Amino acid sequence: MSPKVWIDGKLFDKADAKLSVYDHGLLYGDGVFEGIRVYNGKIFECDAHLDRLWASAKAIRLTIPLSREQFCAAMEETVRAGGFKDCYIRAVVTRGPGDLGIDPRKSPRPSVFIIADLIAVYPREIYEKGISLITSSVIRNHPNALSARIKSLNYLNNILAKIEANDAGATEAVMLNHEGNVSECTAENIFIVREGQVQTPTPSDGILEGVTRKVMLRLCRQMQIPCVEKILQRHDLYIADECFLTGTGAEVVPVTRIDGREIGTGQPGAMTRRLMDAFHRHVRES
Strand partners, 252: 246
**Active-site pick, 10, 85, 151, 162:** 151
Please say if 151 is a catalytic residue: yes
Q: What is the DSSP string of 191-251?
A: EEEETTEEEE--GGGT----HHHHHHHHHHHHTT--EEE----HHHHHT-SEEEEEETTTE
Q: Which of 282, 277, 275, 255 minimizes the C-alpha distance to 126?
A: 255
CA distance 160 to 145: 17
| 3-state class (DSSP) for residue 164 | helix
Q: In terms of C-beta density within 10 A (0-12 exposed, 13-18 middle, 19 or more buried), how is residue 48 classed?
A: middle
Decide if 176 contacts 235 (C-beta within 8 A): no
- Which residues carry out catalysis? 151
